[in-house]
Amino acid sequence: MVDRHRRDTRSGRSSRISAGGFAVNALLLAALGFWSPLGDARAVIIETGDGTGNVTAPPDDPGWSNLGTRGGTTVVYLGRRWVLTANHVGVGDVIFDGQTYSPVPGSKVRFENPDSSLADLMVFKIFDNPGLRRLDIPDFPPAVGNPVTTIGYGLNRGAPTTFMGLGGYEWGVGRSMRWGTNIVSATDLLVTDTYSFATTFTDPLDPSATADESAGANGDSGGAAFTKIGDDWYLVGTLFAISQYTDQPANTSIYDNKLYAADLSHYRADILAVIEQKSCSDGLDDDGDGFTDYPADPECASAGDDSESIPGVPALGFPGMILLVGAILLVFAGRSRLRAKAI
């Protein structure tokens, strides 16, 4: 599919973040020696118990049902039939609560930075509405010290391990949607051209560790980071990358590894500009009937109509539409003959 790009015009704030992000990345390269983007995706490993828990919604649910899967990775349902994920996850069928939803062709939008570089962040539209609530994105970034709940679909936790005197875990087998908790440890980062914040996998013996301390592992790309503001939960990040030490064994999560999430407050205006478009003027064939937008789609009452299909009537496709129009003409012709005969 061809990407359609959106650009953030908040140049003052973007310049500040870019400068800060460059400095932080340089420090990461020097201190860690190597950090790994999630080209193959990563997932949530939890410290709690034997690592098999947290596979149902937490007691204070931030939006568990809005998390779905695409292959072995994660997607988030934003609302209005739009799905958010990391760009490297790719477009394809997604599953929410066991139901498969196919993407609307040509609907992918990858988000762009002020310098025209492309973030590892995208949305695409799906056919049919999964009936999930709309998620809210705040217009300001999380602060260092803010608690977050992360959710992702990935490998289960394996055996305990150590590296350079630090504890951690190997990645196991099998995948589960799982939630964990963290504290924001760094903000204003620029990681693989994506404005981001980070959390740190903390040793449970450290007083700053959270009750369900979590880390990254294979499968969590496209997952969610939520934070609570007042009484309400907000979607603040999309998981997409981790950091690792030089020579850290493959397929492990070690204490002090970082998990990076795209800072959605930075891309919020562009995200809303996409998902708020009306179905009858968004340039997409939203119901797959072969007709796009008003006035080409006969089921659109106007350009401001938010549905390209008649409620309760399945999309017929182009052949079906021809048959429908033919049937309507035959009915009217029949009525005309009856009327003439009656006279």
Segment 253-297, tens digit of pLDDT: 999 999 999 999 999 999 999 999 999 999 999 999 999 999 999
pLDDT at position 51, please? Answer: 87
pLDDT at position 48, please? Answer: 86
**Using 50, 70 and 90 to split pLDDT, how confident is the model at 5?**
very low
| For residues 60-67, average pLDDT | 98
| For residues 124-130, average pLDDT | 97
**Residues whose CB falls within 8 Å of the CB of residue 121, separated by 6 or more in sequence, listed in order:** 84, 86, 87, 110, 111, 194, 238, 240, 262, 267
Which two structure tokens, joined as six digits, stand for 150? 């992360």
Residue 343 has pLDDT above 50, yes or no: no
| SS3 of residue 190 by DSSP | strand
**Ranges 40-54, 74-88, 151-165, 319-333: which has the least confidence:** 319-333
Amino acid at 19: A
Residue 252 has pLDDT above 70, yes or no: yes
Residue 316 has pLDDT above 60, yes or no: no
At 153-199, the pLDDT tens digits run: 988 999 999 999 999 999 998 889 999 999 999 999 999 999 999 99
Report the chain's mean pLDDT, rounded to a whole number.
Answer: 83
Residue 337 has pLDDT above 60, yes or no: no
Query: Is the model more confident about 34 or about 284?
Result: 284
| For residues 31-39, average pLDDT | 35
pLDDT at position 25, please? Answer: 38
**Using 50, 70 and 90 to split pLDDT, how confident is the model at 311?**
low
Residue 24 has pLDDT above 90, yes or no: no
Residue 337: is it exposed, middle or buried by C-beta count within 10 angstroms (0-12/13-18/19+)? exposed
d(CA 198, CA 253): 15
At 83-113, the pLDDT tens digits run: 999 999 999 999 999 999 999 999 999 999 9
d(CA 200, CA 28): 13
| For residues 13-34, average pLDDT | 33
Residue 23 has pLDDT above 70, yes or no: no
